[in-house]
Amino acid sequence: MDRDLASQCREKRCPFCGGPLNQANYERKPRGGPEDLPEEYLIRQSLCCSRENCRRRTLPASCLFMGRRVYWAGVILVIMALRQNRPNGASTIKLMRMFGISRKTLFRWIDYFREEFPISAQWQRLRGRVHASVRNSELPGGLLHYFIRYADSAEEGLVRCLRFLATGV
C-alpha cells in the first residue's frame, strides 16, 4: 500500500515548486513488531524534488508508519485500543511488557490521542467520513472498533483503519 501511495504522490509532482519527484526512500527500524519481517516493510517511502534549487523532501502518506513515531502504526492502534477497552486484563504493565514499550511512551500516546489528535487538521479532515458513534473521547480505539465491526476479520478492519488514517479512504 505504501508503494502505491508513493506512486500517487510522485505523479502530483513537488508541492513546493512543481518539479518532478525522485525516489529517496530510507530504512526505518520500527519497534513493536516481529524481528523477521521482509526488508520491504522497513522502508519508509520518500520522495525528493529533482530541481536543483528546490531538492525538498516529500513524505507520502503511510499505512505502516505514523509520522515520526518509531513504532509501527498498527502496533500503536492496537495498544491504544487494548488500553482503552482493557479486554481480558490488558493492564498497562501487561501491555508494556508484551510490546516492549516504556510507561513514558504509552502515556505520551494516550496524551496524543486524548489532547492533540482530536483537534488535528488530519482528524478534522477525516471526521465527517465516519459515523457519529465514533467519539473523539474514544480515539483511536473507537475508530478501530468501527472499522473492525464492518470488516470480515479483525486484521482486515485494522488495515482499513490504517488506510483511512493515511489516505481518508
CA distance 129 to 63: 18
Which pLDDT score is estimated for 89? 65
Q: Tell me the per-residue pLDDT of 74-95, one tens digit each, with 9 for 90 and over.
A: 999 999 999 888 777 668 888 8
Query: pTM for this one?
Result: 0.84
Q: Residue 52: CA atoms inside 13 Å, Cβ hemisphere, count? A: 0
Name, in order, each residue with C-beta under 8 angstroms of 31's C-beta and a sequence gap of 6 or more: 70, 71, 72, 75, 100, 101
Which pLDDT score is estimated for 36? 87
Domains of the chain by residue range: 2-58, 73-167
